[in-house]
Amino acid sequence: MLTQFFSGARRRSLSSLSEQEVLALAISSEEDDARIYLAYADQLRTAYPHSAKVFEDMAEVENTHKNMLIDMHRRRFGERIPLLRREHVRGFLERKPDWLQKSLTPDAIRREAELMEQQAYHFYVEAAKQTSDAGTRALLHDLALAEQGHEDIARMLDERHRPEDVRTEEGETARRQFVLTYVQPGLAGLMDGSVSTLAPIFAAAFATQDTWQTFLVGLSASVGAGISMGFTEAAHDDGKISGRGSPIKRGLACGIMTALGGLGHALPYLIPDFWTATIVAGIVVFFELWAIAFIQNRYMETPFLRAAFQVVVGGSLVLAAGILIGSG
């Protein structure tokens, strides 16, 4: 915080800039935004070529505006453009480094691009209000109108390069990637955590009838299974050939859902009364198993009755085995 404070203190205010410097700032900003759009295009080109084309054209629009500003500077002030960037001016909007990330979805990138244009528009409007010089004020108003126009251009380019069928196709691609990266490993973890921990937890419960000891067994089984499943998922496939996405994301999804699946019916044993805790745990198991069947049907396109039979019947058998072993 102190670093930001002293850094801000070293920056110049917008009101201290000359018209030439304001123009130089606009030129560098347009140039930076064009580079950001090209980075977005590079990121999207493989999986979403139509969206990549939108950002390539938006970068071209930014470069056109930059060239217009350079021509204006050449006419008014000559060839030498002062070196002035966003970080040199106090209160000037800062671009978040999201464009450096490789995991943004197309919709997230489009929202960030819209925000970039909106921020620039509002900044120029506010800057114009604080400027008394008529020429600078007019210049800032022109820049604000240009930024506002960028939003309309972006929508027009999006409609040109992404007609309804292309948007549907890209939506299906994004959904498929979401299923492969998060839903599939998460579902595998949830199934493993919910079903495989049933036997040890309920066996410990009926063998000891001690809710605290049962909770400790469930906690250790759930956490251990989560760590094991998470590392296994992350290690066995780097996602490059299979297209399943980042192994870290898949490992986290699988590990977390495995642990949650086991903890769901372990947490009720924090209730001191054994039978109350067991009844609550049984109700939780019921909802867990049906939730798994629903997810299989919703995302994996497994027929609901088939999913219900596999999960509910299988889980019930494991539960019964745990109770029988613990009662023996």
Question: Domain extents for the chain?
Answer: 2-162, 176-327
Phi and psi dihedrals of 300, rounded to 5?
Answer: -100, 0
Distance CA(296)–CA(254), nearest Å, equals: 15
Distance between alpha carbon 178 and the CA centroid of its chain, in Å? 11
Phi and psi dihedrals of 12, rounded to 5?
Answer: -90, 150
What does the pLDDT read at residue 280?
A: 92
pLDDT tens readout for residues 168-227:
655 666 666 777 777 888 888 888 888 888 888 888 888 888 999 999 998 998 898 888
Distance CA(161)–CA(243), nearest Å, equals: 25
What does the pLDDT read at residue 185?
A: 85
- Amino acid identity of residue 41, one-letter, is A
Whole-number Cα distances in Å, 37 to 26, 32, 60, 62, 109: 17, 9, 9, 9, 9
DSSP class of residue 321 equals: H
User: Can you spell out the DSSP letters for 244-308?
Assistant: ---HHHHHHHHHHHHHHHHHHTTGGGGSSSHHHHHHHHHHHHHHHHHHHHHHHHHHS---HHHHH
What does the pLDDT read at residue 65?
A: 80
Distance CA(166)–CA(48), nearest Å, equals: 9
What does the pLDDT read at residue 270?
A: 92
Q: Which helix (H) or strand (E) holds 89?
A: strand 89-90
CA-closest candidate to residue 184, choices 84, 298, 290: 298
Q: Which helix (H) or strand (E) holds 178?
A: helix 164-178
User: Which own/partner contact pairs does 277-284 have at CB distance under 8 Å and 24+ positions apart?
Assistant: 277/205, 277/211, 277/214, 278/202, 278/205, 281/201, 281/202, 281/205, 282/319
What does the pLDDT read at residue 2?
A: 38
Phi and psi dihedrals of 277, rounded to 5?
Answer: -60, -40
What does the pLDDT read at residue 75?
A: 80
What does the pLDDT read at residue 273?
A: 92
Distance between alpha carbon 35 and the CA centroid of its chain, in Å? 22
Distance between alpha carbon 268 and the CA centroid of its chain, in Å? 33
User: The domain 2-162 belongs to what CATH superfamily?
Assistant: Ferritin, core subunit, four-helix bundle (1.20.1260.10)
What does the pLDDT read at residue 271?
A: 92
Write out residues in the chain with pLDDT < 50, as ranges. 1-8, 157, 161
CA-closest candidate to residue 278, choices 204, 174, 180: 204
